[in-house]
Structure 1
């Protein structure tokens, strides 16, 4: 009996306007979302201690803004494609893709980036030390500046390092996004039921649904995601220490006295100190 309303609407020619993310209101809402998301990163920089210089903050943020814009465009295209083969409109599919990206995608990106950093530290690929855009001689730890916010002191920013890190981060985000898309497509009936449960009450209000999906939900989840990813992408002391104490750079350190000669050298030092004391006593007595 519940299908009758739909049949009646078809027979009498009534159409219910669906939520469209690519309509005029959708584009305005997306612009507002972009401004709000970037503003959250400005607030984060204002609150952090020590505070990153503007150029370092811009290099860190630009990686996330580029990848976020790319994923946003992909979400709109994929949401439209998914909605064409189902009764769920593209706003609901955008909500599904966005929620999956924030909930699962952020965790996967974190794991992959940390794995890349560990691989880079072991193999001495210093350019993949995330958030550090200068050349450091990690084989001489005494000369390394452990504070990433002061990495410009005595150095010149190498934008090729930034370009490499931007490329790596974008590839990570795209791999995660494509993997999650196929996951959503395979289990689409489950995600459709979940979206209908969360957003079914907004079907009669497409404009309100658009604002709810494109502003109220993203402004909360996006701020959380942007802040977490900013912590992933900016330089950190612990990352620099990992590169300094990695097996690759420890082999480049100044050679130390082998353990088997350590006792002999210490004995020689003690004997020389005894001779010096005897000489000083004899000189005093005379």
Structure 2
């Protein structure tokens, strides 16, 4: 058993110096890893909703509106990365990982700028439909659709920018060593399509969701002020209730003392006589 395992992990890379084959990202094992990653990422967003403070927790509809935009963008970026990885010369797993890491760092910065720009235009121009995270009362599907289109447009800008950045020559040197310690194609594919993306996506989805659920400062201040008043009212109510209980106890005790005194005097007189 150990001998077989050693042979698998120490085998030579496929011919041509490639760790992954050209179709490694789209074979059965590759698709299995991608579906598993998507399920884990979706679970992470559900967990994030339950981690939100109770008074700020979004309804399931608003949560769906927020996260579905991110889901559409993630699918578009992922499919583009899978396709682009096969267009470069060399190991497609390496190129996919480089694209993914750039999308999760430089791309996240571009997304942040784009969302904040849309929110600024929504406030200054009155274009409420493009104010990310705000859908009106009641929530409007039209606003959600407009924001979905904008977000996918941001993803396209991110992908074009990253693709142009990838044309620089030094990436050839990066791809030669980035996954060189992993000689086994299956293990490399698991790292590229599941293990590394899981931890990076968990952070990226969490941060991006905070961007997408952004509230305007005035509303945030109103919510904070209302919550503060509610807490003060609760404290005041508990204090009054405690005082009321204490006063009732004092009245009952004094009444008991008076009753005890009134009963004790005749008894004492009877004993004396």
TM-score by length of 2: 0.70
Assess, with a 3 A threshold, how the Cα gap between structure 1 residues 39 and 164 changes in structure 2: closer, same or farther.
Answer: same
* Alpha-carbon shift at residue 116 of structure 1 (Å): 2.0
d(CA) in 1 for partners of 2:138, 2:123: 22
Assess, with a 3 A threshold, how the Cα gap between structure 1 residues 59 and 210 changes in structure 2: closer, same or farther.
Answer: same
Tell me the SS of whatever aligns to 2:181. helix
d(CA) in 1 for partners of 2:141, 2:159: 26
Residue 173 of structure 2 is matched in structure 1 by 193
Residue 26 of structure 1 is matched in structure 2 by 30
d(CA) in 2 for partners of 1:239, 1:89: 51
> Which structure has the larger Rg over C-alpha atoms?
2
* Alpha-carbon shift at residue 196 of structure 1 (Å): 2.5
Kept after mapping to 1: 8 A contact 2:114/2:154: yes
Structure 1 residue runs without a partner (length 5+): 1-8, 135-154, 243-286
1:79 to 2:85 alignment: yes
* Alpha-carbon shift at residue 236 of structure 1 (Å): 1.4
1:120 to 2:122 alignment: yes
Task: Please point out which of 46, 50, 64 is paired with 2:70.
Answer: 64
Residue 241 of structure 2 is matched in structure 1 by none
d(CA) in 1 for partners of 2:44, 2:15: 43
CA RMSD in angstroms comes to 2.1
d(CA) in 2 for partners of 1:14, 1:175: 36
Task: Please point out which of 218, 230, 233 is paired with 2:212.
Answer: 233
Q: Residues 198-238 of structure 1, C-alpha deviation per residue, up to 9 Å, x if partnerless? A: 21111x20000000111111011111110111011114142
* Alpha-carbon shift at residue 17 of structure 1 (Å): 6.8
d(CA) in 1 for partners of 2:193, 2:218: 36
Kept after mapping to 1: 8 A contact 2:76/2:155: no
d(CA) in 2 for partners of 1:42, 1:158: 22
* Alpha-carbon shift at residue 16 of structure 1 (Å): 6.9
Kept after mapping to 2: 8 A contact 1:129/1:239: no
Kept after mapping to 1: 8 A contact 2:118/2:131: no
**Which runs of structure 1 show a deviation greater than 3 angstroms over 4 or more consecutive aligned residues?**
13-18, 239-242
Higher helix share: 2
Tell me the SS of whatever aligns to 1:199. coil
1:47 to 2:51 alignment: yes
Tell me the SS of whatever aligns to 1:201. coil
d(CA) in 1 for partners of 2:172, 2:51: 39
Aligned residues: 204
Tell me the SS of whatever aligns to 1:21. helix
Task: Please point out which of 84, 92, 109 is paired with 1:107.
Answer: 109
Structure 2 residue runs without a partner (length 5+): 1-11, 222-273
1:172 to 2:174 alignment: no
Residue correspondence of structure 1 range 223-262 to structure 2 within 5 A: 223-238=202-217
